[in-house]
Amino acid sequence: YKGDPAKGKLIVDQVCAACHGADGNSAASANPTLAGQHQKYLYEQLKAFKAGTRKNPTMMGMASPLSDDDMWNVAAYFSQQKVKPREAADKTQMPLGKKVYTAGNFGTKVPACMACHGPAGAGMPDRYPRLTAQHAPYIVKQLNDFKAGADRQNQTMADIASRMSDAEMKAVAEYISGL
């Protein structure tokens, strides 16, 4: 891919670091960690915010002034940062969370998340985003956004999220946060 991480860092330091962390490891659980996320995925999300197809008032405002090159540059920078391992906050959610992540729910046709996002949440470049060490509240919000289909549209994830219970969402999000 094109994308100059040094140029990306200039934008990150001025604009994005406040919420996502200077190295892409965010402190606040509403803001996703971007460190180590696949470059093309990051670029596509920024394009979607700018186009208004992924709706979030904050991020639409952040993405709109970015040029196509800026987006590749910040995506290059964040993708090259190391994601810091985290521990799941609520260990009581681990049994159900692990079950959903590694095996899904046969009865309600929820597939194993692991099938696409990988056993350690690494995802797959160009296809599936990394989930490793992502904040649980952010994950729960995304699953609900996919399910509702208004702010974020993706057929695969909408089908999956719409079959999940609130309890499954919360549990799998906690499990993922500790991957």
Which chain residues interact with ligand HEM by CB under 6 A?
Answer: 11, 15-16, 18-20, 30-32, 34, 42, 45-46, 56, 58-59, 62, 74, 100, 110-111, 113, 115-117, 128-129, 131, 139, 141-143, 154, 156-157, 160, 172
* Helix/strand/coil for 42: helix
Toward ligand HEM, which CB reaches closer, 26 or 92?
A: 26
**For residue 31, what is the DSSP state?**
S
Toward ligand HEM, which CB reaches closer, 83 or 110?
A: 110
Smallest distance, Å, CB 92 to ligand HEM? Answer: 18
Question: Contacts by 118-126 with C-beta closer than 8 Å and gap 24+?
Answer: 120/179, 121/176, 121/179, 123/38, 123/41, 124/38, 125/38, 125/39, 125/40, 126/38, 126/40, 126/41
Toward ligand HEM, which CB reaches closer, 3 or 129?
A: 129
